[in-house]
Structure 1
Amino acid sequence: MSYDKELAAAKKAATLAAHLCQKVQKALLQSDVHSKSDKSPVTVANYGSQALVSLTLERELPSQQFSLVAEEDSGDLREESGQDTLRRITDLVNDTIANEGPHSFSILTIDDVLKAIDSGKSEGGSIGRHWVLDPIDGTKGFVRGDQYAIALALLDEGKVVLGVLACPNLPLATIGHNEQHSSSNEVGCLFFAKVGDGTYLQALDGSTQTKVNVSAVDNPEEASFFESYEAAHSSHDLSSTIAEKLGVKAPPVRIDSQAKYGALSRGDGAIYLNFPHKISVRTLYFSLTLLFYFDFSMLE
Structure 2
Amino acid sequence: MSFVKEAYIAQLAVKRASLLTKRIADEHLQRGIEKKDKSPVTIGDFAAQAVIIHSILKNFPEDLIVGEEDSSLIKSQHLEPKILKKIDWVQKSDSVSNDKLGVITNAEELCLAVDKGNSKGGHKGRIWALDPIDGTSGFLRGAQYAVCLALIVDGVVQVGVVGCPHLPHSLYEKDSKIGGIYTAVKGQGAYFQDLAAAVTSPYDSSHPIHLHNDYDFSKARVVEGVEKGHSSHELQSLIESKLKIAQPPVRLDSQVKYCAVANGDAEIYLRLPTSLSYREKIWDHASGWLLVHESGGIVTDIFGNKLDFGSGRTLNSQGVIAATATLHPEIIKTVKDLVGEHGQMLYRFCSA
Q: What's the TM-score once normalised by structure 1's chain length? A: 0.85
Q: Is the 8 A contact 2:87 2:104 kept in 1?
A: no
**Post-superposition shift, 1:155?**
1.2
Q: Is the 8 A contact 1:51 1:117 kept in 2?
A: yes
Q: Is the 8 A contact 1:216 1:267 kept in 2?
A: no
What is the correspondence of 1:182-201 to structure 2 with a 5 Å cutoff?
Answer: 182-201=173-192
Aligned to 1:298: none
Show CA shifts across 1:131-189 (max 9, x none): 1101111110110111111111111122211111111111112x1xxx1xx34431111
CA-atom RMSD, angstroms? Answer: 2.4
Aligned to 1:34: 33
Aligned to 1:6: 6
What is the correspondence of 1:289-300 to structure 2 with a 5 Å cutoff?
Answer: 289=337
Q: What is the identity, as a one-letter code, of the residue corresponding to 1:26?
A: D
The verdict on how the C-alpha distance between 1:27 and 1:241 changes in structure 2, with shifts beyond 3 A counting, is same
Show CA shifts across 1:231-278 (max 9, x none): 222222332232122221111111111110001111111122232245
**Whole-Å Cα distance in 2 between the matches of residues 106 and 11 of structure 1?**
16
**Which of the residues 98, 105, 108 maps onto 1:108?**
105
1:233 aligns with 2:230: yes
**Whole-Å Cα distance in 1 between the matches of residues 88 and 70 of structure 2?**
19
Show CA shifts across 1:15-74 (max 9, x none): 1111111011111237x4211232211100000000000111122x15x41311101100
Aligned to 1:47: 46
Q: Which runs of 4+ in 1 moved over 6 A?
A: 282-285
Aligned to 1:93: 87
Q: What is the identity, as a one-letter code, of the residue corresponding to 1:244?
A: S
Q: What are the ranges of 5 or more consecutive residues in structure 1 without an aligned counterpart?
A: 292-300
The verdict on how the C-alpha distance between 1:277 and 1:114 changes in structure 2, with shifts beyond 3 A counting, is closer
**Post-superposition shift, 1:290?**
8.6
Greater Rg over alpha carbons, structure: 1
**Whole-Å Cα distance in 2 between the matches of residues 219 and 125 of structure 1?**
38
| Matched length | 278
The verdict on how the C-alpha distance between 1:277 and 1:111 changes in structure 2, with shifts beyond 3 A counting, is closer
Aligned to 1:287: 335
**Whole-Å Cα distance in 1 between the matches of residues 63 and 235 of structure 2?**
43
Aligned to 1:297: none
Q: What is the identity, as a one-letter code, of the residue corresponding to 2:48?
A: S
**Whole-Å Cα distance in 2 between the matches of residues 129 and 257 of structure 1?**
25
**Whole-Å Cα distance in 2 between the matches of residues 149 and 159 of structure 1?**
22
The verdict on how the C-alpha distance between 1:88 and 1:210 changes in structure 2, with shifts beyond 3 A counting, is same
The verdict on how the C-alpha distance between 1:124 and 1:246 changes in structure 2, with shifts beyond 3 A counting, is closer
Corresponding residue SS for 1:220: coil
**Which of the residues 53, 74, 78 maps onto 1:77?**
74
Aligned to 2:217: 220
**Whole-Å Cα distance in 2 between the matches of residues 255 and 100 of structure 1?**
29
Aligned to 1:161: 158
**Whole-Å Cα distance in 1 between the matches of residues 143 and 66 of structure 2?**
26
Q: Is the 8 A contact 1:142 1:148 kept in 2?
A: yes
Q: What is the identity, as a one-letter code, of the residue corresponding to 2:35?
A: K
Q: What is the identity, as a one-letter code, of the residue corresponding to 1:87?
A: P
Q: What is the identity, as a one-letter code, of the residue corresponding to 1:189?
A: G
What is the correspondence of 1:195-274 to structure 2 with a 5 Å cutoff?
Answer: 195-206=186-197, 208-274=205-271
Q: Is the 8 A contact 1:153 1:160 kept in 2?
A: yes
**Whole-Å Cα distance in 1 between the matches of residues 120 and 185 of structure 2?**
23
Q: What are the ranges of 5 or more consecutive residues in structure 2 without an aligned counterpart?
A: 199-204, 278-301, 304-331, 340-352
Aligned to 2:141: 144
Aligned to 2:124: 127
Q: What's the TM-score once normalised by structure 2's chain length? A: 0.73
Show CA shifts across 1:57-113 (max 9, x none): 122x15x4131110110012222xx11x22100111111111113433456111111
The verdict on how the C-alpha distance between 1:234 and 1:107 changes in structure 2, with shifts beyond 3 A counting, is closer
Corresponding residue SS for 1:221: coil
**Whole-Å Cα distance in 1 between the matches of residues 112 and 259 of structure 2?**
31
The verdict on how the C-alpha distance between 1:265 and 1:285 changes in structure 2, with shifts beyond 3 A counting, is closer
Query: What's the % identity of the aligned pairs?
Result: 35
Which moves more between the two structures, 282-291 or 70-79? Answer: 282-291
The verdict on how the C-alpha distance between 1:114 and 1:288 changes in structure 2, with shifts beyond 3 A counting, is closer
